[in-house]
Structure formats: C-alpha cells, structure tokens
Structure 1
C-alpha cells in the first residue's frame, strides 16, 4: 500500500520534520517503518469522524507519541474528519482542532514559576528565568534578539548540569524577535531527554508561551501566534492558539503538514 511522506512544520518548505504516513496498521510495523525512509512513521489503526488511533515508530523502535506524526496523519485524513477530533497515541488522548487550515493539538496549561539562576555555564549570565512544566519541567530563558538566539552554541554537558541544578529536564531559549512575521523565535535543548537540540517541539514551545502568559506579555488583540524554531540548518514554523483559563493559559500548538513524496 502507498506510503505518503509529509514535511511537517517546515519553514518555507525547508526544515521541519519528515513523517511517513501509512493508511493501515497491518503486518510488521517496525519493518515497514525501517523501510519508509523517514525518521518517523505513523500508522493509522482506526479513524472515524471524530476519533483517530495511531501508532508511531522510528526506524528502530516504537514511540509512544509524536505531535509531528499526529499532524501528518490528521492532514492525510482531513477529508474524513470533522474540524475537531480526538487523537489516541499510546496511552495519550490528545484533542485536535482545525484552525486556519492547520491542525493544532492541545498541550494543556503550563505550570510556571519564576526563579533567579546563574546561566554563566552556558554563556548567558545570572538572570531571571522560569520553570515551565507540562508534565516535564523545562527551564525557559529569554535572550535579547534573534542574533543572540542564532549564535548560541549548545554544550550538552553544561546544559545537563544546569537542568540538574534547577530540577528541570530541558532548556528553552526564546526571543520576541522573529523572521518572516514570526511573533517569537525559540530553540529547544534536551540532553537529559536524549537529544541535544530538537527541530520542532510543540511541548517546549507551549512551555515558552506559558511563560509569556505568566508575564502578561501575550497580545490582547489576538489569540494566535506564529513561532519560528531556529535549530541551525533545520528551521521550523509552528502555530499557537492560546486562551486564559482559571489557572493560567491553555495552549494549543500545531502547524502545516505538506506532501513531500509518495512511495
């Protein structure tokens, strides 16, 4: 059966993530994923008007969930779905909604705490930062502009030590500056999570947006943002919808998935 490769959350057709979407879940899924030619493969187990069940694999193992995989599958299934749906991946059930032609997934309401920390080991000095959590706490720090964000050179050992010292598992750097009409730009690091830098991270962006909400810096004339993720050589563009709830800011993150090729 034909497998469709999608480029998800790309910036002007470049970067983002490649996801192979299979319309069925028959046979040896791991073997099929290994042959797909993409870092992620998603298999559609079932689909109705409002519910989709997926299984996600890398070329070497099954992965519990992936927002990028879900966005690719939802895009392929668009004509079979309502504008709102529930997506099941592993033990997770994620609400999804179509907004402006792009699918968004509910990330939740980040729990945000401001602290003072010495970021000198990663070259940023002492400053006010935030711990923002959606299940796993991330350290969020702001840099002055896009140039400072783009020239930051990550050191896995130093970032890991900083995360351990602050009781966090990842690091997000953000700035209000952005290219091509982006409202904010960010980079996401997670050596303690098994990667140095992620190219497209919905969860870590949601944590950063939670910080903006806690700091009263979200716009009041719109509930939509465009975010540029700036991993060198692999840029991504993500869309955010936010709204105030009793305990903070509820955040949905998603973006475009475009056909790349079929095989």
Structure 2
C-alpha cells in the first residue's frame, strides 16, 4: 500500500448524495495529504465531516473520519467522497476494499464503481412483515416490515408522496414504536419521487442519536430489502434510484440489488462532486 503524496494542505470539499440540481446532500472535506493532527484539521475544515486518506492503492483504501469535535468510527458519505476524490486524481480499481478507523475497531467494507458512482456493500437484507401499533405516529393501519443487515429498522409504506412530505416526526413517539417493535430506526416510504426517482423515503433514528437523517445508506438498504420481499423492485434493472426527503435537505441515492438464498444483497452509493 502506498501513502498519498502531499498535494496541498487544504482539503477537497465535496457534496455527496446531492440532487442532480446540486442541492442538498452532505458536505465532506477530503484530506488526500498526510495530516499530523486530523482532529484540529477537521475542526477547521468548515464541513460537518472530514475524511483523511491514511493510505491507498488500487485495491485497498484506508480512511479515518472525524467530526469537528471527535473521531467518527465510519461514514458512508465520507468514504464515497474520499473514493471520488482519489479516483479523480488517479483511477482506482473498480472493485476494492475500504477500511475506516484505526486499531481493532476498524471497519472493512467492499466498494465498487458503477455507472460513474461509487457504491458500498451494505450486506444481505432480511425483511419480514410485522403487525405494529403505529397509532402513536398517526399511521395506524399501514403495512409495516422489520428489515435488517444487522441493525433492524421498522419500514412503513405510506399511501402517497404527500403523506410522506407532510409527516411530522416526534422523537418520543418514534422511539416508543421502535422499542415496541425491537427496532432501532424508522423508514417511511412512498412510490415515485422527483426526477427519475423510483421511490422516496425519510429516515428517523432517535434511538441512534439523531432525529432525521438526510442521507442514510443503511436505511435505504433495508427499504430495498422490503421492496424485494414484496416484488416491488424495478423488473428490468438491478439499480434502484431513490430520493431521500428530509425537509430542506434533499438527497439522491442509488441502490444495487441481487437476490440471495436468504434475502437481498444490497450496495448503496451516489454522486460525490467537488464544491
């Protein structure tokens, strides 16, 4: 493995998962050069997330991710930003391994380049219909599933995009429903969406430490597993285009899927562009 040679002390600023118009998504600062004090650099980067390329070659990329105040174990948004910036500088292998973090707690994930977008393997999704009391959420009577790649999420289908956009979350009620169903997050979805999106969704996780996420790869993976379970994935392709619809911070994600003997294997990614 080779260590990237210093190009500049300034990071490359990227927007990941933005809509085709360039709006929304997540901002990430990518440091391609070695940095002596990544925490201080992250604090001055001006981005909510900073990713530091520790080492990279054609088949293996080692990253560390920081918020302005602490090291973050891993981030799909940060990994996609780093892969995009590295690939723009010098082409990487179309299939490689990404390691995020340091020491025994480092996380390893496969990545692939598909149609100009990097995708990260989320794993195999198992999805099961459940009977859940959704009354606290104002969603009584709707179909629900538990879907998981290791962290179970409650996935609920809404009747329309209007119902999805007008839903007002309450952290206490969302957490209570998650606890009652043995899940850690809530995904609401409806068919269709802006542009060429085939499905739209919103992702909530007060038990995970956030109210609503703007771009969640794992949540989309779980939703993809549900759509596969119900036979609602596009029949003529293995790629799903999804719009995540957090108010004021829209995002666009892609999910690649394949049926397995135990569920659905899902990879999730999206565009990462320089600012």
TM bracket (short chain) = over 0.9
Which residue of structure 1 aligns with residue 93 of structure 2? Answer: 82
Higher relative contact order (CA 8 A, sep 6+): 1
Normalising by structure 2, we get a TM-score of 0.93
Which of 15, 37, 40 is 2:46 aligned to? Answer: 37
Q: Which runs of structure 1 show a deviation greater than 6 angstroms over 4 or more consecutive aligned residues? A: none
Please say if residues 142 and 157 of structure 2, whose CA atoms lie closer than 8 Å, have aligned partners that are also in contact.
Answer: no
SS in 2 for 1:186: strand
Aligned equivalent of 1:195, options 207, 210, 226: 210
Query: TM-score by structure 1 length?
Result: 0.97
**Which of 148, 155, 158 is equivalent to 1:143?**
158
- 1:145-181 CA-partner distances (Å, limit 9, x unpaired): 1111000000000001000111111000011121111
State which of 216, 220, 237 in structure 1 corresponds to 2:235: 220
The reply on whether 1:167 has 2:175 as its aligned counterpart is no
Pair 1:5-2:16 in alignment: no
Which residue of the partner structure matches residue 94 of structure 1? 109
Cα distance in 2 between the residues matched to 1:117 and 1:126? 9
Q: List runs of 5+ in structure 2 lacking aligned partners.
A: 1-8
Partner SS, residue 126 of structure 1: coil
- The answer to whether the Cα contact below 8 Å between 1:116 and 1:126 also exists between their aligned partners in 2 is no
- The 8 Å contact of residues 97 and 105 in structure 1, kept in 2 or not, is answered as yes
| Count of residue pairs the alignment pairs up | 260
Which of the residues 47, 51, 56 maps onto 2:60?
Answer: 51
RMSD in angstroms over aligned alpha carbons? 0.9
Q: Does 1:237 align with 2:237?
A: no
Q: 197-206 or 171-180: which moved more?
A: 171-180
Cα distance in structure 1, aligned partners of 2:199 and 2:260: 22
Q: Determine the C-alpha separation between the residues in 1 that align with 2:255 and 2:34.
A: 31
Q: What SS does the aligned partner of 2:180 have?
A: helix
Q: Does 1:15 align with 2:24?
A: yes
Gaps of 5+ in 1: none
- Larger CA deviation: 119-128 vs 230-239: 119-128
